[in-house]
């Protein structure tokens, strides 16, 4: 049987940049789309994505890291149908001039109207919101910008937890590297999940993170709060989820009495040891379920065995049975 080829028009991706933009907001997603083309080529299929960097005036634009990129002007897009338009974010001191830039304010409404999908990476949503383009929508943005965003634009609903949010043809992502997660989701939507999986593997990503996942894993939250001895312990917990992780075992490993360990752990992380261990185990279980592993295998790997124990804890925490979660979200 002859393999079916993609004889589709090339999907034109436009990244909007400006002086001081965050380079990874564009280079990360651009690498995803380019890798998707390479994966298609290896399957004997035509490239799907075409990429352009665009700024209000065109020409050389310097990113926040000092790297200079060459850009096109909006006028050069006149004859191109835009498939996806994404605007990069920046730190506040570079974002405010971009919001006030007459060139961006003139071209963005027209460009977004003509795009099949549009959106932002990180704080780039501030620029779109300042033009009223996000009113009535739900969006994601960098965790540090959620409160200022919600205060500045009350007509926009900010999701403080999501890695990225899809609201109709509007796609917005949280901080910096989440643009990669969103781009992978776009590839899975445009092409197929298998291609997105190949791209993630090519880019040596730990996993394809779904949009509903929090911007911070429980491990990262705890490591950010905990002092050095507990940071080491937390790393050990992650690597030994199938081991007994009760207070006596953890206290012994930390070299503390059980009472002292419990008190200091709660003070450092904001959670009891039992609650924290269950959170890390369930977070790991979600990632394993995305790989279509059996409940029995997942339960054994995360230390919530038998499978009935995993199901009870999973449904209590997330309000959905792990089998249904796997059916809804697992990679193809």
- C-beta contacts of 321-326 below 8 A and 24+ residues apart: 322/285, 322/289, 322/295, 322/298, 323/295, 325/286, 325/289, 326/289, 326/290, 326/292
Q: Are 105 and 87 in contact (CB under 8 A)?
A: no
Taking the C-alpha atoms of residue 172 and residue 143, their distance in angstroms, rounded to an integer, is: 13
- What confidence tens digit (pLDDT) does each residue in 283-302 have? 889 888 878 889 999 999 99
Q: Are 250 and 233 in contact (CB under 8 A)?
A: yes
Q: Are 166 and 133 in contact (CB under 8 A)?
A: no
Q: What is the pTM (predicted TM-score) of this model?
A: 0.67
Q: Are 281 and 303 in contact (CB under 8 A)?
A: yes
- Number of Cα atoms under 13 Å in the Cβ half of residue 210: 16
Please say whether the dihedral angle defined by the alpha carbons of residues 147, 152, 157 and 163, taken in this order, is positive or negative. negative
**DSSP string covering 31-77, please?**
HHHHHHHHHHHHTT----EEEEEE-SS-EEEE-TTS-EEEEB-GGGG
Which tokens is 196 given?
């997105």
- What confidence tens digit (pLDDT) does each residue in 153-181 have? 999 999 887 888 899 999 999 877 889 98
What pLDDT was estimated at residue 222? 55
What pLDDT was estimated at residue 78? 76
Taking the C-alpha atoms of residue 162 and residue 216, their distance in angstroms, rounded to an integer, is: 9
**Distance from the Cα of residue 296 to its chain's centroid:** 29
Taking the C-alpha atoms of residue 296 and residue 300, their distance in angstroms, rounded to an integer, is: 6
How far from 62 is each of 22, 71, 89, 190, 194, CA to CA, in Å? 10, 10, 14, 31, 36
What domains can be seen in the chain, in order of their start residue?
11-202 (3.40.50.880), 218-329 (1.10.10.60)
- What confidence tens digit (pLDDT) does each residue in 42-59 have? 999 999 999 999 999 999
């Amino acid at each position: 049987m002859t393999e079916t080829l993609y004889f589709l028009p090339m999907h034109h991706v436009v990244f909007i940049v400006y002086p001081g933009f965050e380079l990874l907001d564009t280079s990360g997603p651009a690498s995803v789309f380019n890798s998707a083309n390479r994966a298609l080529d290896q399957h004997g299929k035509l490239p799907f994505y075409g990429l352009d960097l665009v700024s209000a005036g065109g020409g050389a634009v310097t990113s926040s890291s000092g790297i200079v990129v060459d850009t096109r002007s909006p006028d050069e897009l006149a004859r191109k149908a835009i498939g996806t338009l994404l605007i990069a974010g920046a730190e506040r001191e570079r974002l405010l001039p971009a919001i006030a830039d007459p060139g961006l304010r003139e071209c963005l409404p027209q460009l977004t109207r003509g795009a099949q999908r549009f959106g932002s990476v990180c704080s780039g949503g501030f620029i779109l919101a300042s033009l009223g383009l996000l009113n009535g929508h739900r969006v994601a943005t960098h965790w540090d910008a959620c409160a200022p965003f919600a205060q500045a634009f009350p007509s926009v609903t900010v999701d403080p937890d999501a890695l990225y949010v899809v609201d109709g043809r509007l796609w917005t992502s949280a901080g910096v590297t989440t643009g990669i997660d969103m781009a992978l989701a776009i590839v899975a939507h445009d092409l197929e999940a298998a291609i997105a999986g190949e791209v993630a593997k090519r880019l040596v990503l730990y996993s394809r993170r779904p949009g509903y996942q929090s911007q911070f894993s429980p491990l990262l939250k705890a490591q950010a709060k905990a002092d050095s001895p507990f940071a080491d312990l937390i790393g050990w917990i992650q690597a030994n989820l199938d081991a007994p992780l009760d207070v006596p075992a953890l206290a012994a490993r930390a070299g503390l009495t059980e009472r002292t360990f419990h008190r200091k752990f709660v003070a450092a992380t904001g959670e009891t040891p039992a609650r924290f261990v269950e959170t890390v185990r369930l977070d790991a279980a979600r990632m394993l379920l995305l790989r279509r592993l059996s409940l029995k295998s997942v339960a054994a790997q995360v230390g919530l065995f038998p499978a009935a124990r995993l199901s009870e804890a999973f449904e209590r925490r997330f309000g959905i049975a792990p089998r249904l979660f796997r059916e809804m979200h697992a990679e193809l």
